[in-house]
Amino acid sequence: MTMKNYCWALIDAINEEMARDPDVFLAGEDVAAAGGAFGGSRGLLAAHGPLRVRDTPISEEVIVGLGVGAAMTGKRPIVEIMFMDFFGLCMDQIVNQAAKMHYLYQGAFKMPMVIRTMTAVEMGIGPHHSQSLEAWVGHVPGLKVVMPSTPRDAKGLMKSAIRDDNPVVFIENLALHKIKEDIEDEEFLIPLGKADIKRAGRDVTVVATGLMVHKALAAAEILSQEGIEIEVIDPRTISPLDVDTIVASVRKTNRALVVTSAHKPFGLASEVAAQIMDHAFYDLDVPVARLTPPFTPQPFGKGFEAFLHPDKASIVAAVRELMA
């Protein structure tokens, strides 16, 4: 076992897959010479050379477009869009090209591409870098969407994403880059589409993603002292969503809370709530609750952002209300 942080776990994953498969390459803004805008590709240029680790111009549409073309011709590109907020510049390539090729050509083309991107939610860097826009891509059939919350999940899921023949949007969380975890030295994969029960409990199912997983786990400690045991489920992959694990938990607890950094309207929290209604309505003792930031743009300033977003205290309060 080796202690790794989230950022280095991801570098390890990409490094291992590039060494394993010569078709894997990495392209994006500042990924080569600079080792990544936030250090997320350090050492890869030296290890795999300039042909396979390439800096690109500042043109998001071109970055994803080159990935689509390369994937159609048999390569396994990892293309990086520095912040998910910039998806607006390359949505046509992601939604109309990458997600549709396999379908339009009746499976003649595969699309083994990873779109590596990031949210910097709650890092105090304003409305253009801090959005949680996973619903944009989770809404599109043909895309898989991954958003890990721990270093080990990040590594195992990145390796599976690279090996997957479908386009995978891989959403990192900058706020989690420095958290550390012991990771086994042997190779391992974590399958896409499989949720993880981060903490088992009997009273309330709390489904949380990204940063909110850690806040839910902190809330669980406080609630446990009151005799309330919450079960914290991290879907890890939001598309396809592991409805089975969530529903099985709700069947046990009869209560559910969904906590996300993304807004309520049309978001993951709403989708999870709807799935619970579809599959476990007669197991619900109280309505499913959603806890999210209010429907406003992301502000500058960490204090204001912290004020708007769910935290340990608001999760505790929401769970207590479900138990009332």
Partner 1 sequence: MSHAIIIPKLGLTMEEATLVRWHIPAGQQVAKGATLYSIETDKISFDVEAEADGYVDQIVPEGDVVPVGALVGYLLERPDEASPCVSSVAEAAKVVVDNVPVPAASAAPPPMQATLGGNMGEGARRYISPLARRIAASNGIDTGALTGSGPNGVILKRDVERAMAARNAAGGPIGGDAPSSSVSRRPMTAMRRAISQRMQQSLNTTAQMTGFGKVDMTEMVQWRSELLEVMPTDAPRITYTDIVTKACAGVLREMPELNSYIDGDQIVTWNDINVGIAVAIDGGLLVPVIRNADRLSLLEIAAQRVALIDRARTGQITPADLEGGTFTISNFGSYGGDFETPILNTPQSALLGIGGITDEPAVRDKAIVIRAMMMLSLTYDHRLIDGAVAGRFRARLRALLEHPSVMLALLG
Catalytically active residues are 129
The gap from C-alpha 15 to its chain's centroid, in whole angstroms, comes to 20
Q: Which of 88, 127, 240, 297 binds partner 1 (CB under 8 A)?
A: 240
Q: List strand residue ranges (DSSP E) for 82-213, in order.
A: 114-119, 144-146, 168-173, 180-183, 196-199, 204-208
**CB of 194 vs partner 1, minimal distance in Å:** 8
Task: Please tell me the distance from the alpha carbon of residue 208 to that of residue 221, in angstroms, as a whole number.
Answer: 16
Considering beta carbons, is residue 168 or 217 the nearer one to partner 1? 168
Radius of gyration of the chain (CA): 19
Q: Which of 286, 299, 308, 312 binds partner 1 (CB under 8 A)?
A: 286
Q: Which of 22, 49, 50, 107 binds partner 1 (CB under 8 A)?
A: 107
Point out which span in 15-23, 50-58, 148-156, 241-249 binds partner 1 (CB under 8 A): 241-249
Q: Can you name the residues that pair with 127 across neighbouring β-strands?
A: none
Q: Can you name the residues that pair with 173 across neighbouring β-strands?
A: 119
- Give the CA angle between residues 285, 291, 293 to the nearest 5°: 165
Task: Please tell me the distance from the alpha carbon of residue 122 to that of residue 148, in angstroms, as a whole number.
Answer: 16
Q: Is 51 in the site for partner 1 (CB under 8 A)?
A: no
Give yes or no for a contact between 118 and 37, defined as CB atoms under 8 angstroms apart: no
Q: Which of 229, 283, 299, 308 binds partner 1 (CB under 8 A)?
A: 283
Task: Please tell me the distance from the alpha carbon of residue 83 to that of residue 23, in angstroms, as a whole number.
Answer: 25
Considering beta carbons, is residue 125 or 323 the nearer one to partner 1? 323
Give yes or no for a contact between 186 and 16, defined as CB atoms under 8 angstroms apart: no
Considering beta carbons, is residue 188 or 281 the nearer one to partner 1? 281
**CB of 166 vs partner 1, minimal distance in Å:** 7
Q: Is 243 in the site for partner 1 (CB under 8 A)?
A: yes
**CB of 100 vs partner 1, minimal distance in Å:** 8
Q: Is 236 in the site for partner 1 (CB under 8 A)?
A: no
Question: Which 163-182 residues touch partner 1, going by CB under 8 A?
Answer: 166
DSSP readout, 141-175? Answer: TT-EEE---SHHHHHHHHHHHHH-SS-EEEEEEGG
The gap from C-alpha 84 to its chain's centroid, in whole angstroms, comes to 11
Question: Which 247-266 residues touch partner 1, going by CB under 8 A?
Answer: 254
Q: With CB under 8 A as the rule, give the number of residues binding partner 1.
A: 22
Site string for partner 1, 182-221 (x = CB under 8 A): -----------xx---------------------------
Q: Is 242 in the site for partner 1 (CB under 8 A)?
A: yes
Pairing of strands 2-5, 168-173: unpaired
**Tokens 């776990």 sit at which residue?**
9
Task: Please tell me the distance from the alpha carbon of residue 230 to that of residue 2, in angstroms, as a whole number.
Answer: 30
Q: Is 158 in the site for partner 1 (CB under 8 A)?
A: no
Q: Is 285 in the site for partner 1 (CB under 8 A)?
A: yes
Quick one: DSSP state of residue 298?
P
**CB of 20 vs partner 1, minimal distance in Å:** 22
Residues in touch with partner 1 (CB under 8 A): 99, 102-103, 107, 141-142, 166, 193-194, 240, 242-244, 254, 279, 281-286, 324
